[in-house]
Each structure stands twice: as structure tokens, then as C-alpha cells.
């Protein structure tokens, strides 16, 4: 039997559509860039704003300090001890918006074009968090109650590695005790195709600094006799992969187990179109680790990526400088059973081994998080499948996710409850790039799917 | 018989010391950064200022436009057709001053500390150009005439490759006709050790752009399936050298001839101390092409250097971005018989060959100039040796120079006159780095040596 969206809640969503959108836009206008200390006041303001929104929805709101940006907690426990308790997790911080000149409309001025809300944080994760808040509000306004007890936990450090959330979850383990964790911070496989996540990749994020001469030198007067840190950095980076696209850092794959053959078969059965994916990314060609499909490369295989490079003179024209230093931001996406700290040690040891004489290389930890793999059985997943089908009129598929939500592993370890990741983003949404967007339809249907889910638990 | 500084001129220099220094400081305060279009007005102002200074010295001054920054010409032809004509060349443009925060005192506020004038352009080349202007002024003020005819040619594009000076010299060949070219835009071998240059390296300066996806991507969602342009750039750069520090671009050494054994022997006989050089550059160790000494590496061997790197996220903290592009500034120092245009073609062909599939690489010409080798015989060199010994009380040594003065080759080809390069910089002068300085003593003695030279021609 197929479930359907409860009509009383649907009516509420239709009647309040414009107000809900305006509220979301207010939230999106706050540049809560957690990575940038100059935005600390904005990030604090986003937490305050969200606490207010929790109150409006009928949740008891509390802002709880951490050593970094605060956690905003919203609770409603009126369903009673016999009913399940659900923990909803999301984040109110966003990625930096640079380069600003590549945005079609300003990053922090939400604009609707072609059925999409364009703004930094629209899909990652303010829009996806806010649809949960409004789904709760619908139940409490229309019916005066929810069928489950709810705790909404919103953090402000997801984009910088959730460094304080593990401690927070462990310290508040009793208060956060629950029967299910629900997270919407990922994407659907395709437009109209709801999706449940079976895995997340983990992350080790490092900065690699190569230092040579004590100051920039004239490349003519010194060049040839002094090792160039930019050249040395390039030579170090070039050892990170072999000719087949495999990470060539010794030990990197030692703990990587083959993917479950059943999951791998389901992945291979998905109607994935390399040509469409290529057109979407706009690169001359796709390439990666030999022997794997594109979906396996992003969902099931670990990587080592350069996220940034900086050295010497980078302005207009020519400057004949032998730079004194060179920097790379390096991140490894990890699969289950790879320990972020162990990978960091392997990277450090490898860099030490391959650094040419004449320069010093320094590896600095920026952040890390474990990968995660779901157990896709049990009533939570069954209910989610029904709720998604009710809203989207299509059964969900099981997908992987190449990105990281480091706190999922913390929840799994500290709370022991099953974790459901159902996201409402879409391919091409530019989550960490200029022109980030969220589909208006997915916001609307996602809100309805979540509201329906509570009735099915 | 040893020459000595003419006492009437020496008296002039002593009496006018403070005024000359203040004038030089005025010149140094003008941020004539030719590489930056936002400094175009400053560069024009420096040309105006210099024309005024030529007038003060007694030269007939003229500012002559070029397609880029103008040439400033100063002439005095009162010695008559039987006396030699000397062309003095220098440049009034300077390198960019960034990174500004590494300057002890502001780059464009000249400051004397420990017998050094600290300022951008102090030694490269405003100070060295200005000592020629004041040497001319001494003759004309004290004696009312010079023993030679003089043309001073100051350009404003040396730091961006002198792109228009070759055409200028060819177009004004008759006006610039001379018996000797004298240039002070280089360094002495050591404090107190005057030096005459036997060679300059040439230059091919390129920008290498690697482009992948059409916009920055989330490194989790796409990483592994899309070729990373920053990684690709590093892999391309890593092919530029072999493990022995030799440039590994095919054909790069094909036209390189061995250095003259006599010159090589004189270079090896110079009292050069690797440990002192290492301490000066402040690197962990020296390294370069196997089989050559440090001096040979910088004077007699070609190089391929990375002058800048830029890609993706380079700010504070971590951003998990797969960058859409990556850029390197690449310059090759060349030795005589290497053609800049030919080397550029070899670099382009090599980059095309090693660029991995999945990205596009583009090589853009920024500038280039030929290397040069002096013929160290004849009356000009004998007179220079005497004048330098008169001022410094020590016979000059013959040195090489790893840097480039592209216009030297133009002068050699267009004017056919012998070229004397005698510079008054010193090792460690930070010519293209923060805290550039010129020795006050070298400014004073250089001015006297040049003034003495005119009497000896």
C-alpha cells in the first residue's frame, strides 16, 4: 500500500508557501562562513536567527556554546515516552563564497531563477535544514502535536570539519538519546528520483607548506643554485598518484575493503550517463582510478585531491622571483575502514620521504572525519521509502555519496541509533562553488516527505 | 700607473652629498611599477621626474613615447665629433613591492639603516642610474664640459621585458650611434670588490594555465572522477626537471655550448664560499644541476623556474574544492646560443606532450630576451678597470650574471659598439624581494668611478 502526504499538512504548506520562502531567504542572507574569522559575528547571528525560527515552529530553543561556533538545539518532547524520539541534524554554517565575481547574482542575496533558489547555503545546508523546521511547524500548528518526540541539532562548524561536535554529542549523550537520526545534507540521484544514502566518504584535510630561502629571491641571480620551493611542491604532489590514477602514497589502500558486491551491483544498475555528467562538469574528459566506473570513483573509492595552490607572484604580468615558499591544500576522501589520523600519518611520512633536499616540507592538520556505511534494514528505512514515494511518486534508489558529513560517525558511535540520510539536493547544484542553488520543487517536496515520515514512524 | 679620482669632482661629490641623497630619495618614492597597470600614472610621473633631473644635471632632456612606458633621453654633445660618444643605459621602472608586510620599512619610503638605502628600486635600477646622472652633473658643473659626448637612455619597461626598447633602438639608431655602451644594473662580486660582467643570461617567461571543469566543484561529490587541474599542473611541472636537476624538456640543451675554458677557470678561481651564499639565501641546503659549481649554475647554465602558483582555495582554513583551473608562472633563464622563441616552442611542445587527458593546458608568452657574452678586450675595458680601481682601490674581477638585461642584445645588434656592464649592487641586495637595498658606499664610489671613467676614454 502506498502512503500519501497527509492533506491537512499539505494544505498548511500551500497556504504558507510565500512566508516560508521569505523566512528561508532571511536565513540565506546571513553570511555565516565558519571558515573565516571575519564572519564570526555573522555566524553567531545565524545561530540566533535559527533559535528564533525554532521558537516560531513550536520547538523549545537553546543556543549552547562550544569552543567554536555554538550548537542550536530545538526540542519537542510532547509525544511521550512510548513514542520514538528522532534526532534531526543539520548545519547553519556555509562555505566561503569566493570567487565572488563568478556568481550570477550575489551569493548572499537569494534569487529565484528557473525554479532554483540561488544563494550560498541554499542546498548546503540551510535549505535542507529549514525544510525540517517547517515540517515540524506544520504538525504543531495544524494538529498541536507531533507523532514523535523531536530534537533538532544544528551546528555551525560542518564546513570546517565539525571539530567540536563529537565532544558535544558525547557530553550530551543522555539528552540526545534517540531511536533514529535523520539528516538531509546530500543530493538525490536525479531530478524526481528520491534517494537514500548508503555511504559517505571520510576526509583528511591537510596543508602542505614547502619552505626554501628565507625570502623571495631574484630568479636570475639565484636561479639554478637554490632549490625552488614551488618546483619542489609540484614534484612532491606529482608523487601522490601513479599513472593509473591510483593514490601512490604507500599504505594508503591497506585497510580498504572491497565494496559489498550487492551494493556495487545496485550502483552499477543505476541509469548513470557519463556523457551527461561530463557535460555538467564541463571538463574536456573524465578520468580517474583505472578499473572503476564514475559512480564507483566518487562513491566507493578514496582520493587525494589538491584543493589549492599558492606560491610566489600570481598577479598580472611577469615577476622573475624565486619564491621563498609554496603552499598546497590537500584533502583525501576516505572510505570506511580508513582512519583519518592514520592516513594523515601516511601522508606525512610520504611527504618526508619524497621532499627533495634544499627545502623543508611541513604537513599541518586542518581537519578530518571518518567515512560511514549504512545498515539499510529496519523500520526507519521502510518508513523513509514510503514517505519519499508519497511526496515524489517514485520509489527511492540507494546511492552513495562522495562527500563527507564527519559527524555521522560520531552519531553512530555515541548514540547507537540507525541513521537515515535522505537529501534533497541535485546533481550540478554547485554546493561548494559559485552559483550554488536548491530546486524549489525539491524544497517543497522534501518538506512534505519529512512531514509524512513522522506519521509513519 | 694607477689612476685616481679627479679631486675637483670628488670635492663636488662631498659638497653635494646630502642634496644628491635627497634627490635619489625623491626618485625612489615614486612607485613606478611597470608590471601593474594601476601604477601607470606613477610610472609616467617617474619619467617626468627623471627628465627634470636630466635638466638639472645639464643634459638636454626629452621624453619619447613608446607603445608602452616612455623612454627618457638625456644628451650632451659638446665634446665635439672627435671625441667618443658614450651611451648610458638604465631603467626607471621597478619590480612590484609585494608582499608588502615583509618589508621592514615601507617599500617606497627610502630609509637608511646600517649604511644601506632600503627601498624598492634602490639598487635595481634607480640608484645605479642616478649615480650616472650625478657623475655627469659633476663634470658639467665643475668644469662646464664633459670629456666625451653622452646620451643617457632610461626606459620604463625593463622589469616587464623591455618589449618596446628593441624597436626604439632600431628606430633611433642614428641618434643613438655611439662608441661605447655603459650599463650599471648588476652587482659586484663582493663588498669592496669591483666587478666587470662577462655575460648575462637570457629569459623566456611564460604563463601556464591548466583548465578542467567549467567551475569549481565540490571535491567530495566529484573528486575521483574529474581530473584535478591543480594536480595536473603539478604533474606537468614535475616533468620539467630530471632527478639530477637538469631541465628535462626535450631539446632544451641542444644549442648550449660549453663555456670558454679560460672564463670557466677564472670563475672557478674566484674566492666563492658556498656556506656564506647558503647563509645569505637562508635555505636548508643548496642544490642544482649536477656537475656544476654554484657560480656556474647561476652564471653559465640555463634554468627552468616556477615563479608563481595559483589554484583553488588559498585562504585561511579548509575548503573542499576541486578547482576549475590552476596557473603557474614559468621562466627559463637562457645562456648564449639559446633562442628565447625556440625555447618557448620547446616548452609549448613539451607541455602539450605531458598534459594528462581530462584537462587543457595553455602556454602564454609573457616576455623574453636573449643572453649575452662580452668580448672583454679593448680600450673601454682597460679604462673601466682603471676607473674602478681608482674608486675602490682594488682591481676589478670578471664575473658572470645570472639575471637578464634583455636590451643588451638589442644594443649589441643595433649599435655595434662594445658594451660595458659594471654594476654597483651587492650579493644579498634583495633586488626582486622585500627589503631591497643599495650600499651607500657603493653609490658614492660608483658615482666616482663613473666620473673618473669619462676622463680615461
Our CA-based measurement puts residue A87 at a distance from the nearest CA of chain B, in whole angstroms, of 25
Nearest to A424 by CA among A382, A383, A396, A452: A396
| Contact present, A187 and A427 (Cβ < 8 Å) | yes
- Cβ atoms B286, B277 nearer than 8 A: yes
What's the first-to-final CA gap in chain A, in angstroms?
Answer: 16
Label residue A284 exposed, middle or buried (CB < 10 Å: 0-12, 13-18, 19+): middle
Q: How many CB atoms lie within 10 A of CB B67?
A: 9
Chain B residues whose CB is inside 8 A of the A323 CB are: 306-308
Confirm or reject contact between B290 and chain A (CB < 8 A). Answer: no
Which residues is A421 bridged to in the sheet?
A: A183
Calculate mean pLDDT across residues B370-392: 93
Question: For chain A, what percent of residues have pLDDT higher than 90?
Answer: 86
pLDDT at B2 over 90: no
CA distances from A12 to A34, A146, B75 (A): 34, 15, 88
Who among B37, B402, B433 is closest to A223 (CB)? B402
Query: Which of A131-140, B154-163, B355-364 has the weakest average pLDDT?
Result: B154-163
* Closest among A355, A313, A352, A348 to A330, alpha carbons compared: A348
Chain B residues closer than 8 Å to A360 by CB: 284
Contacts of B322 in chain A (CB under 8 A): 305, 307
Chain A residues with CB-CB distance to B240 below 8 A: 231
For residues A297 and A286, give the distance between their C-alpha atoms in angstroms, rounded to a whole number: 11
Q: Which of A218, A287, A302 sits opposite B357 (nearest CB)?
A: A287
Test B321 with A432 for CB contact under 8 angstroms: yes
Backbone dihedral region of A298: left (phi > 0), alpha (psi from -120 to 50 degrees) or beta? alpha
Q: How many residues does chain A have?
A: 457
Would A7-200+371-456 and A203-256+302-368 be classified into the same CATH topology? no
Calpha distance A267→A295 (Å, rounded): 7
Neighbours of A275 (CB within 10 A): 8
Across the interface, whether the CB atoms of A219 and B36 are under 8 A apart is answered no
- Best CA proximity match to A367, nearest among A159, A172, A222, A221: A159
Residue of A216, A287, A358 with shortest CB distance to B284: A358
Candidates B102, B221, B333; nearest CB to A298: B221
Chain A nearest-CA distance from B85, in A, is 31
Residue A304 confidence (pLDDT):
97
Checking phi first, is residue B49 left (phi over 0); if not, alpha (psi -120 to 50) or beta?
alpha
Q: Is the dihedral of CA A349, A350, A353, A354 positive or negative?
A: negative
The pLDDT value recorded for residue B188 is 95
Q: Could you tell me how many CB contacts below 8 A there are between chain A and chain B? A: 369
DSSP calls for B407-447: HHHHHHHHH---EEE---B-TT--TTSSS-EEEHHHHHHHH
pLDDT band at B428 (very low <50, low <70, confident <90, very high): confident
Distance (Å, whole) CA B457 – CA B452? 9
Report CA-CA distances (Å) from B240 to A231, B175, B244, B330, B423: 9, 44, 12, 10, 32
DSSP annotation of A182 reads E
Q: Does A354 touch chain B (CB under 8 A)?
A: no
Interfacial B residues in 121-180 facing A (CB < 8 Å)? 159-161
- Which residue of chain A is at minimal alpha-carbon distance from B216? A433
- Cβ(A334)–Cβ(A370) below 8 Å: yes
Q: Domain spans of chain B?
A: 7-200+371-456, 202-256+302-366
Give the SS3 label for residue A232: helix
Query: B271 in helix, strand or coil?
Result: coil
Q: What is the pLDDT averaged over residues A302-328?
A: 95
When scoring A187, A235, A307 by the number of chain B Cβ atoms within 10 A, the one with the most, hence best to mutate, is A307
- Chain B hits for A36, CB-CB cut-off 8 Å, are 315-317
Statement: A203-256+302-368 belongs to CATH 3.30.70.360: yes
* pLDDT tens digits, A110-135: 999 999 999 999 999 999 999 999 99
pTM of the model: 0.81
Residue range A300-309: mean pLDDT, rounded:
97
Instruction: Spell out where A261-359 has E strands.
Output: 305-312, 321-322, 325-334
Task: Name the closest residue on chain A to residue B223, using Cα atoms.
Answer: A298
| Contact between A133 and A57 (Cβ < 8 Å) | yes
- Identify which of B282, B298, B356 has the shortest CB distance to residue A225: B298
What does the alpha-carbon distance between residue A329 and residue A298 come to, in Å, rounded to a whole number? Answer: 20
Nearest to B139 by CA among B434, B456, B452, B457: B452
Counting every residue written for chain B, the total comes to 457
The CA distance from A377 to the nearest CA of chain B, in Å, is 25
B314 touches chain A (CB under 8 A): yes
**pLDDT at position A404, please?**
78
Tell me the per-residue pLDDT of A381-404, one tens digit each, with 9 for 90 and over: 999 999 999 999 999 999 998 987
Q: Which is nearest to A71 in space by CA: A83, A80, A62, A79? A: A62
Count CA atoms closer than 13 A to B204's CA, side-chain side.
23
Q: Give residue-wise pLDDT tens across range B184-243.
A: 999 999 999 999 999 999 999 999 999 999 999 989 889 999 999 999 999 999 999 999
CA A414 to each of CA A161, A260, A342, A409, B450: distance values in angstroms, whole numbers, following the listed order? 18, 25, 21, 8, 80
- Chain B interface includes A357 (CB < 8 A): yes
The C-alpha of B139 sits at a distance from chain A's nearest C-alpha, in angstroms, of 34
**What angle, rounded to 10 degrees, do the helices at A40-57 and A127-143 form?**
20
Kindly report, residue by residue over A13-35, the tens digit of the pLDDT: 999 999 999 999 999 999 999 99
Pair A443, A202: CB distance under 8 Å: no
State yes or no: pLDDT of B387 exceeds 60.
yes
What is the distance between the alpha carbons of residues B391 and A196, in angstroms, rounded to a whole number? 84
> pLDDT by residue (tens digit) across B412-423?
989 999 999 999
Contact A433 B282 (CB under 8 A): no
Q: How far is A281 from chain B (nearest CA, A)?
A: 5
Bin A291: left if φ > 0, else alpha if -120 < ψ < 50, else beta.
left
- Grid coordinates in use for B443? 653609490
Please check the confidence at residue B406 and state whether its pLDDT lies above 80: no
pLDDT at residue A46, rounded to an integer? 98
* B431 closest CB neighbour out of A221, A312, A356: A221
Q: Which of residues 232-271 of A touch B (CB under 8 A)?
A: 233-235, 237-238, 240-241
* Cα torsion A113, A114, A119, A122: sign: positive
Inter-chain CB proximity B309 and A404 less than 8 Å: no
- Domain spanning B7-200+371-456: which superfamily? Zn peptidases (3.40.630.10)
Report whether pLDDT(A405) > 90. no
Q: Is A437 helix (H, G, I), strand (E, B) or coil?
A: strand
Is-contact B149 B77, C-beta < 8 A?
Answer: yes
Residue B168 pLDDT exceeds 60: yes
The DSSP element (H or E) to which B181 belongs, if any, is strand B180-183
- Residues in chain A with CB shorter than 8 Å from the CB of B221 are 187, 298, 401-403, 431
What's residue B432's pLDDT?
A: 84
Give strand ranges (E) for A65-188. 71-76, 85-91, 111-113, 116-118, 149-155, 180-183
10 Å CB burial of residue B428 (0-12, 13-18, 19+) is: buried
Q: Determine which helix (DSSP H) or strand (DSSP E) holds B400, and give its type and residue range.
A: strand B397-401
Contact status, residue A107 vs residue A36, Cβ threshold 8 Å:
no
DSSP track, A35-99:
T-GGGHHHHHHHHHHHHHHHHHHTPEEEEE--SSSPEEEEEE-TT-TTS-EEEEEEE--B----S
Helix axes A7-15 and A127-143, enclosed angle (nearest 10): 120
pLDDT digits (tens, 9 = 90+) for A241-251: 999 999 999 99
* pLDDT over 70 at A1, yes or no: no
Query: Hey, are the CB atoms on A226 and B320 less than 8 Å from each other?
Result: no
Assess contact for B120 and B95: CB atoms under 8 A. yes
Q: What is the pLDDT of residue A253?
A: 98
Chain B interface mutation, best of A101, A309, A426, highest count of B Cβ atoms under 10 Å: A309
The answer to whether the Cβ–Cβ distance between B227 and A433 falls below 8 Å is no
pLDDT value for A156: 98
How many CA within 13 A on the CB side of residue B361?
Answer: 27
Q: Measured between CB atoms, does B32 come within 8 Å of chain A?
A: no
pLDDT at B263: 80
Q: What fold, for B202-256+302-366?
A: Alpha-Beta Plaits (3.30.70)
pLDDT of B1 reads 52
pLDDT, mean of residues B250-278: 90
Beta partners for residue A207, in sequence order: A329, A364
Q: Rounded to the nearest 10 degrees, how much is the dihedral formed by the CA atoms of A25, A30, A33, A38? A: 160
Per-residue pLDDT of B63-89, as tens digits, reads 999 999 999 999 999 999 999 999 999
User: Under a CB-based contact definition with an 8 Å cutoff, are residues A309 and A215 in contact?
Assistant: no
What phi and psi values does residue A97 have, to the nearest 5 degrees?
-95, -10
Amino acid at each position: 500500500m502506498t502512503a500519501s502526504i497527509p492533506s491537512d499538512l499539505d494544505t498548511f504548506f500551500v497556504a504558507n508557501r510565500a512566508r516560508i520562502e521569505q523566512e528561508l531567504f532571511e536565513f540565506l542572507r546571513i553570511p555565516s562562513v565558519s571558515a573565516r574569522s571575519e564572519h564570526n559575528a555573522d555566524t553567531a547571528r545565524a545561530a540566533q536567527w535559527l533559535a528564533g525560527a525554532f521558537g516560531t515552529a513550536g520547538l523549545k530553543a537553546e543556543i549552547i556554546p562550544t569552543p567554536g561556533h555554538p550548537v542550536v538545539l530545538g526540542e519537542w518532547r510532547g509525544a511521550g515516552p512510548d513514542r520514538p524520539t528522532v534526532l534531526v541534524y543539520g548545519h547553519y554554517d556555509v562555505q566561503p563564497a569566493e570567487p565572488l565575481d563568478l556568481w550570477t547574482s550575489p551569493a548572499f542575496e537569494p534569487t529565484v531563477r528557473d525554479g532554483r533558489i540561488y544563494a550560498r547555503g541554499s542546498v548546503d545546508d540551510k535549505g535542507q535544514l529549514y525544510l525540517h523546521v517547517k515540517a515540524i511547524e506544520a504538525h504543531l500548528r495544524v494538529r498541536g502535536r507531533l507523532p514523535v518526540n523531536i530534537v533538532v541539532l544544528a551546528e555551525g562548524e560542518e564546513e570546517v570539519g565539525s571539530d567540536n561536535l563529537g565532544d558535544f554529542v558525547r557530553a550530551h549523550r543522555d539528552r540526545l538519546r534517540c531511536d533514529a537520526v535523520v539528516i538531509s545534507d546530500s543530493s538525490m540521484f536525479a531530478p524526481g528520483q528520491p534517494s537514500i544514502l548508503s555511504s559517505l566518504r571520510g576526509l583528511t584535510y591537510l596543508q602542505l607548506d614547502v619552505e626554501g630561502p628565507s625570502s623571495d629571491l631574484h630568479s636570475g641571480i639565484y636561479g639554478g643554485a637554490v632549490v625552488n620551493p614551488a618546483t619542489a611542491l609540484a614534484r612532491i604532489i606529482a608523487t601522490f598518484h601513479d599513472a593509473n590514477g591510483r593514490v601512490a602514497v604507500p599504505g594508503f589502500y591497506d585497510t580498504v575493503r572491497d565494496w559489498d558486491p550487492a551494493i556495487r551491483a545496485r550502483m552499477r544498475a543505476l541509469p548513470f550517463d557519463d556523457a551527461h555528467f561530463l557535460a555538467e562538469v564541463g571538463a574536456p574528459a573524465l578520468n580517474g582510478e583505472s578499473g572503476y566506473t564514475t559512480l564507483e570513483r566518487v562513491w566507493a573509492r578514496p582520493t587525494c585531491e589538491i584543493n589549492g595552490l599558492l606560491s610566489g607572484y600570481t598577479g598580472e604580468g611577469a615577476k622573475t622571483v624565486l619564491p621563498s615558499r609554496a603552499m598546497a591544500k590537500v584533502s583525501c576522501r576516505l572510505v570506511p575502514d580508513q582512519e583519518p589520523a592514520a592516513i594523515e600519518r601516511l601522508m606525512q611520512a610520504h611527504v618526508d620521504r619524497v621532499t627533495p633536499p634544499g627545502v623543508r616540507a611541513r604537513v599541518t592538520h586542518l581537519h578530518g572525519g571518518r567515512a560511514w556505511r549504512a545498515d539499510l534494514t529496519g523500520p526507519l528505512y521502510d518508513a523513509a521509502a514510503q514517505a519519499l514515494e508519497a511526496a515524489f511518486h517514485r520509489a527511492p534508489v540507494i546511492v552513495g555519496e562522495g562527500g563527507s558529513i564527519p559527524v555521522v560517525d560520531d552519531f553512530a558511535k555515541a548514540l547507537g541509533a540507525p541513521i537515515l540520510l535522505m537529501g534533497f539536493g541535485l546533481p550540478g547544484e554547485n554546493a561548494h562553488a559559485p552559483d550554488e542553488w536548491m530546486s524549489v520543487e525539491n524544497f517543497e517536496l522534501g518538506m512534505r516527505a519529512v512531514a509524512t515520515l513522522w506519521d509513519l514512524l
